Amino acid sequence: MTSAARLILSASLLALAVPAAAQAPVAVAPAAAPAQQSAHERLFQLFQDSDEANLKRNPINALFRGDMRYADRLGDFITEEYYAKEKAASEQDLAALHAIRATSSMRPTSSPTTCSNSPPRTRSRATSPSCST
């Protein structure tokens, strides 16, 4: 690659990065969950909202999916502010998941059942699959 081509490429990337750095921070509010919605509907809505917020924060992920709505942005993947926003979004999603679980009639069992009918992953088949409750 010639030095002129490198210069043009660098200038192009810089031109894309400047408007992306000037973007306002994206604030994501959890979707209001009416009492009549089932846990499944609230969970599905949470996944949709979380995914949409992720695409706004990470526009390159949207491009990988073929979603061109955020193609005018480059995104911020290396600053401390980005990591803080990602952490806050994850904590918000986790809190929303706990809220759905708390109001749901579907509770996890106290001791999960583990049963494997498939052979062990090791080459030796001397041990048999175990089932425990």
pLDDT tens digits for 44-80?
Answer: 999 999 999 999 999 999 999 999 999 998 888 899 9
Q: Number of C-alpha atoms within 13 angstroms, CB side, residue 82?
A: 14
Q: Is-contact 30 37, C-beta < 8 A?
A: no
Please state the pTM of the whole predicted model. 0.52
Question: What's the alpha-carbon Rg for the chain, to the nearest Å?
Answer: 23
